[in-house]
A = this chain, B = another copy of it.
């Protein structure tokens, strides 16, 4: 994809510091976080201390911090200082949403791909979810479904409750990557879905009901019923996207 000479423009290097200094600073900040066993939310040294400690220029530290902020590895709270970031999937969400917008073809194609990934992941986790939730009561989870059904009956959507439901369903799994991954695709979805028309009232009701069916199947220990309910959960969306 290297551009030919014809595509060249008269750009002058943005960075006042050589790339290597900023890369060094970035690695050093990451190493510092690891060697000090810092966790998300823990404070980091001031910019001056970092410059002195690493023996690099202020501009290199700034460049490094900017990149680490974009990756959610460092968080800057203005007036308070720098902290270890949440190291969330936010950068992935941002990148995926932009990739979807960039993709040639119809607007729905990228959203269809995201919905397919969500469906497949939820179905792939059926055995684990069912094992975790068998005979396990949880008033919070039931509460989310009650709220969804109430909103659906009024023709309203319920994205807050929906996200909270899926997050809580996966939270007890021992591998936390799943909840991060599925939540990231949920976020990509939510950021892309405004492209679509509002869902029909009956589709909202079907989707709300499918959440209850998923949870009931899990509590009964029935992985097959869980997979079927998951498909019903995504069916109205899938058919709207292929229309």
What are the residues of chain B within 8 A of A65 when measuring CB–CB? 14
Chain A residues with CB under 8 Å of chain B are 1-3, 7-15, 19, 30, 33-34, 37-47, 62-63, 65-67, 69-73, 76, 78-84, 86-89, 91-92, 94-96, 98-99, 101-102, 104, 112-114, 116-117, 120-121, 123-125, 175-178, 181
Which listed residue, B41, B46, B47, B176, touches A113 by the CB 8 Å rule? B176
A95 and B71 in contact (CB under 8 A), knowing A3-B41, A117-B177? Answer: yes
Query: Is there contact, CB below 8 Å, between B80 and A43?
Result: no
Label chain A's interface by main secondary structure.
mixed
Q: Which residue of B lies closest to A73 (CB)?
A: B98
Nearest-CB residue, chain B, relative to A87: B99
The answer to whether B91 touches A39 (Cβ under 8 A) is: no
- Do B80 and A102 touch (CB < 8 A)? no
A80 / chain B contacts, CB cutoff of 8 Å: 3, 8, 11
CB–CB A46/B11 < 8 A: yes
Task: State the CA gap A86–B209 with chains docked (Å).
Answer: 40
Q: Quick check: A11 and B121 within 8 Å, CB to CB?
A: no
Contact A66 B73 (CB under 8 A): no
Nearest CB in chain B to that of A7: its residue: B43
Closest chain B CB from A183 CB (angstroms): 13
B113 & A124 in contact (Cβ 8 Å cutoff): no
Contact yes or no, B71 A30, CB < 8 A:
no
23 A-B residue pairs with Cβ-Cβ distance under 8 Å, sorted by A, are A1-B40, A3-B43, A8-B81, A10-B81, A13-B78, A14-B47, A14-B65, A14-B66, A19-B78, A34-B102, A39-B102, A63-B66, A67-B70, A72-B95, A73-B98, A84-B102, A87-B98, A89-B95, A91-B92, A91-B94, A112-B175, A116-B177, A117-B181
